[in-house]
Amino acid sequence: MTSIISTDSARGPGPFNVAIVGTGGIANAHAAAISGQPGLALVAAIDINPGQASQFAEKWGIPHIAASMGQALEAGRVDLVVICTPPSSHMPLALEALALDLNVVVEKPPAMSLAQIHELQAAEDLSTGSVSCIFQHRFSSAVKRLAALRESGALGRPLIGVCNTLWFRNQAYFDVPWRGLWDVEGGGPTMGHGIHQFDLLLHLWGPWSQVSAFASKLARKTDTEDVSAAVVQFESGALATVINSVISPRETSVIRLDFENATLELEHLYGYGEKNWKLTPAPGHEHLLALWDDGENQPSGHGAQYAVIAESLSSGTLAPVSLREALPTMELAAAIYASSIGGRTIARGEIDNQNPFFGRMDGRLDPWKQEVKTA
């Protein structure tokens, strides 16, 4: 049975000790967020590159560097391990941490496939540690308020949604050896970029029921897609379009949610605050403007999620976003690939352990093998 509580019987009342595994670019976002939490203390930087680990440790005032989790544990107590390595190593490192009864935070995507998510769940069941997945767009005052308004019935039924991640990555981005490969990244913008946006969509609108999608490799030399487009139906009956792109010169991240009584719109790029949201009431529902503008302003971001993680550590409760909570998002990513490659609508729950898309997002079907056309 999983628990967020440290197994160290000598655990004192002070901050919980955190080790970061992988000291590349995204690790800095985690270090900044952790440094801002009084309940957390960075104690170790773990990397197979000692020079990079040393530079990272010096930058963030981390007292120890190590080449492995075991080595970090020899230097002192660790309560939480944060995995910031390339996607293909997320699951094996999380399994290693769980085997050591450590709590784990994993950058997106939490795993490369649905099979890996289920393997992690099985390992979590045998550990006193647990896994929390980074989906930081869920954590903001605006999302909390929107969820409360929807639950109260003030917004009415969800009807039509738009969820676009329109970003730009040039060819040099994909020329990095580990990028754009199914067996290293797990997929293209659907898995590695747009997943944050449609995770927020699912968090706000609840369970999805089926999806029909297209994906292509239109402009980049890469094994994975560089764009996908889907129509998602929710259990509520609502419909939403979801586009994930890394070939869009004017970058933006957009969510629009049309309810019966109001439209909620969010436009930002990599993170948002209150000013990025807009509520437009339907005629006769102008009172919703006052309910929306309550003066609270907690932006999204790693810091917002780590604040909740720190509270969970202190209270001994399971930290968000759990593997169970992340599963519908991973299932939608797998279904978008299955639909676009197989050419048919995919229902939620259809991708079981007998389905080729359960073990790999491309179903090992070698999609979009043709070279990109160049001018």
Is residue 2 over pLDDT 50? Answer: no
Q: Which of 324, 85, 321, 330 shows the shortest CA–CA distance to 191?
A: 330
Instruction: Give the separation between CA 17 and CA 310, rounded to whole angstroms.
Output: 11
Give residue 5's pLDDT band: very low, low, confident or very high (50, 70, 90): very low
Cβ atoms within 10 Å, residue 216: 15
**What confidence score (pLDDT) does residue 8 get?**
45
Chain-centroid distance of CA 78 in Å reads 24
| 25, two tokens | 């670019």
* pLDDT grade for 367, boundaries at 50, 70 and 90: confident
Q: Are 352 and 358 in contact (CB under 8 A)?
A: yes
Measured CA to CA, the distance from residue 243 to residue 213 in angstroms comes to 10
pTM over 0.95: no
pLDDT at 48 over 60: yes
What ranges in the chain are assigned the alpha helix state H? 25-35, 50-60, 69-74, 90-99, 114-125, 141-152, 171-174, 182-185, 189-192, 195-205, 288-292, 302-315, 323-342, 356-359
Paired tokens of 360: 């790999």
Which residue carries 């999983």 as its tokens? Answer: 2
Mean pLDDT of 93-103: 97
Give the range among 199-208, 240-249, 290-299, 304-313 with minimum mean pLDDT. 290-299
pLDDT, average across residues 55-84: 96
**What mean pLDDT is predicted for residues 288-302?**
91
Amino acid type, 76: G
Asked if the model's pLDDT at residue 327 lies above 60, the reply is yes
Report the pLDDT averaged over residues 194-202: 97
For residue 373, the model assigns a pLDDT of 56
Considering the chain, what percentage of its residues have pLDDT values greater than 70?
94
- The DSSP code sequence of 143-175 is HHHHHHHHHHTTT--EEEEEEEEEEE--HHHHT
Q: What is the pLDDT of residue 374?
A: 55
Tell me the β-bridge partners of 166.
245, 252
Q: Which residue has the tokens 């995204």?
A: 26
Residue 335 phi, psi dihedral angles, 5° rounding: -70, -35
pLDDT class of 294 with cuts at 50, 70, 90: confident
Q: What is the mean pLDDT of residues 342-360?
A: 97
What is the token pair recorded at 112? 């490369």
Residue with tokens 């580990």: 178
Average per-residue pLDDT in the chain?
Answer: 93
Question: What pLDDT is stored for residue 295 in this prediction?
Answer: 77
Quick one: residue 54, left, alpha or beta (phi over 0 = left, psi -120 to 50 = alpha)? alpha
Q: What share of the chain is helix, strand, coil (3-state, %, to 5)?
A: 35, 25, 40
Amino acid 65: pLDDT: 97
Mean pLDDT within 58-72: 97
pLDDT digits (tens, 9 = 90+) for 10-28: 454 569 999 999 999 999 9
